[in-house]
A and B are shown apart, each in its own frame.
Chain A
Amino acid sequence: MFRAFARSMSVAANKSIEGPLACRIASKIRLKFPAMTHFAMYNDSYKHAGHHGIADAAEKIESHFRLEIISDEFQGMPLPKRHRLVYSILDEELKSGVHALQLTTRTVAEQSKRQPTE
């Protein structure tokens, strides 16, 4: 019990994906991509803590996220359209502190084509 608590504390807040914004992002993505076969989220805020525009920003703990979404909902969409779709789903979060969102958006077929090289 104590060990579990200690482990959860060992991740810095600006690296954690259990904050309120992270949870909202994850639940919105899961809701909007029911066909999703893979989802991963990384909080990269700790990498950017000191840089321009962030040093004086209100949201430093949950400012930079990286998402991997593998879903056939992206079928037939060019990349900018896929990213715009995700941006539009997360519009509220982008306006309330999320400063950067790195996206990997692939269909299942595109992902399986990449596997041998990765």
Chain B
Amino acid sequence: MFRNVINRGLLRPAASSRINAYAFGRCMSTETKEAIESAVKSAPVVLFMKGTPEFPQCGFSKATISMLGQQGVDPMKFAAYNVLEDPELREGIKEYSEWPTIPQLYVNKEFVGGCDIVMSMAQSGELTKLLEEAQALVPEEEA
């Protein structure tokens, strides 16, 4: 099922060669890589985390989820993947993002960062700007 979704031409050209080289070096399976690619583009805002948004299993995942909630991310435009459910995803996402820790946030298929970066972007206002540009926020109520 994943295979049908994959169109290599859709990959960011700059990233694809780097990721391929990395994947070959570390032997992440093609299936895992394709599953991660389709996960990354399954929604405008994608979080790879430990546990679920309702029951985060790690303080950093919990903090990241609550920051996204405070920003007003539209649940319809958000997807969360629990890396604890799948050891291949847990290791694969670290190679894919070249980032050794969880959580990891993607917005519009672009890697944003982990908890510290999301926190610092939330404080500086950059996160709101990024999410607005991605049209990922719940529209303001027109009263």
Interface residues of A (CB under 8 A from B): 47-48, 51-53, 79-80, 83-84, 87, 91, 94, 99-104
> Which B residues are CB-close (under 8 A) to A100?
60, 101
Q: How far is the CA of A80 from the CA of B126 in the complex (A)?
A: 14
Question: Binary interface profile of B, 81-116, with partner A (CB < 8 Å = 1, else 0)?
Answer: 000100000000000001111000000000111111
17 contacts across the A-B interface (CB closer than 8 A): A51-B58, A53-B50, A53-B57, A80-B99, A80-B111, A80-B112, A80-B113, A80-B117, A83-B99, A87-B99, A87-B101, A94-B101, A100-B101, A101-B100, A102-B115, A102-B116, A103-B116
Asked if B120 is an interface residue, CB under 8 A from chain A, the answer is yes
Interface of A is mostly: mixed
Q: How far is the CA of A80 from the CA of B50 in the complex (A)?
A: 20
> Which B residues are CB-close (under 8 A) to A101?
100-101
Asked if B75 is an interface residue, CB under 8 A from chain A, the answer is no
- Of B60, B101, B111, B115, most buried by chain A (CB within 10 Å of CB) is B101
Using a Cβ cutoff of 8 Å, how many contacts connect chains A and B?
46
Q: Which of A48, A51, A87 makes the CB contact (< 8 A) with B100?
A: A87
Interface residues on B, range: 20 to 34
Could you tell me the distance in whole angstroms from the C-beta of A106 to the nearest C-beta in chain B?
A: 10
> Which A residues are CB-close (under 8 A) to B60?
100, 102
> Which B residues are CB-close (under 8 A) to A47?
59
> Which A residues are CB-close (under 8 A) to B120?
79
Besides A47-B59, A102-B60, 8 new A-B residue pairs in contact (Cβ under 8 A), listed by A number = A51-B57, A51-B59, A52-B58, A53-B50, A53-B57, A79-B117, A87-B100, A102-B116
Could you tell me the distance in whole angstroms from the C-beta of B55 to the nearest C-beta in chain A?
A: 10
User: B114–A83 contact, CB under 8 A?
Assistant: yes
